[in-house]
Amino acid sequence: MQPHLVLNDGQSLPRLGFGLWQVPQDETARVVREGLAAGYRLIDGAAIYGNEAGLGDGLRRTDVPRDRIFVTTKIWNDRQGYDSTKRAAEESLARIGVEHLDCLLIHWPCPDQDRYVETWRALVSLRSEGRVKSIGVSNFMAPHLHRIIDETGVVPVLNQIELHPRLVQAELRALHARLGIVTQSWTPLGQGRSFDAPAVQAAARRSGKSPAQVILRWHLQLGCSVIPRSTRAQGLAENLDLFDFALTPDEMDAITALDADERTGPDPLRFG
């Protein structure tokens, strides 16, 4: 399996990264440095995580060249709108201390605010100015995707959505495939709720891997990019060690059948 995906704008995305949600600011530089040393090349940050400065410190303390690292951050809900988003992006660039972002996402559509189209236009403009290489969205549902594409003609490179064995998102994944959008899974381990499921346990026993590795491999074989979080060096290394085994089609189907349409996070139609 190729460890990279080609985005619809021609950029290359490492399939596997690590996330920085709930990583304390004073631990973030260490986690970033350890993650890069372990072999990760995709880092998923967000302004609301409050640790962009730590992310930047970690980037400056690694030997890995900047152009080998794919850095994502996100525009928080209270910065939606054209001018406000452009300022928010500049603030993120300054906090991280980089010349450009590899990817910038709209964190939530916030349909009640009804500003995600102008927010998307701001991302398009940031891309043409070279401040951001790729632009995408997060937590967008079908109507939000159709609307930004219809109104701007620009298709997001990826949609980062809640996805794990208890929320398999089959319809949205199929829509992404039709539109050429990469599905990126957040909370991919689903807070451990499926670690004990017989389908996961059986695949773990057969492959000699941990339940977390089985679930992350399931994401990769679905075709998704995936961004687990671990603050432990051992967890970071374990979550990266996914390329020397494969799930069988039956194992894939058995894990997909755990779907319960169960979110751990908010409903994107209502949040923000």
Residue closest to 142 by CA, chosen among 122, 167, 161:
161
Q: Is-contact 226 213, C-beta < 8 A? A: no
Output 100 or 193, the one with its CB closest to ligand NDP: 193
DSSP H or E stretch at residue 96: helix 82-96
Residues numbered 18-37 forming contacts with ligand NDP, rule: CB under 6 A? 19-21
In order, the DSSP letters of 154-190 are ---SEEEEE-BTTB--HHHHHHHHHHT-EEEEESTTG
Interacting residue with ligand NDP among 220, 227, 254, 255 (CB under 6 A): 227
Q: Is 49 labeled as catalytic in the residue annotation? A: yes
**CA distance linking residue 29 with residue 96, whole number of Å:** 11
Examine residue 102 and tell whether it contacts ligand NDP (CB under 6 A): no
* Residues comprising the chain, all counted: 272
Q: 14: which residues sit within 8 A by CB, 6+ positions away?
A: 3, 4, 40, 41, 42, 70, 225
Interacting residue with ligand NDP among 231, 233, 241, 256 (CB under 6 A): 231
Minimum Å gap between C-beta 263 and ligand NDP is 11
Examine residue 139 and tell whether it contacts ligand NDP (CB under 6 A): yes
Examine residue 12 and tell whether it contacts ligand NDP (CB under 6 A): no
> Which region, judged by CB under 6 A, interacts with ligand NDP, from 52-60, 78-86, 185-193, 200-208?
185-193
Q: Total residues contacting ligand NDP (rule CB under 6 A)?
A: 24
Question: Hey, which residues does 138 pair with through a beta bridge?
Answer: 160
Catalytic hit among 40, 49, 82, 116: 49
Q: Is 131 helix (H, G, I), strand (E, B) or coil?
A: coil
Interacting residue with ligand NDP among 56, 106, 239, 255 (CB under 6 A): 239
Binding site for ligand NDP (CB under 6 A): 19-21, 44, 107, 138-139, 160, 186-189, 210, 212, 227-232, 235, 238-239, 265
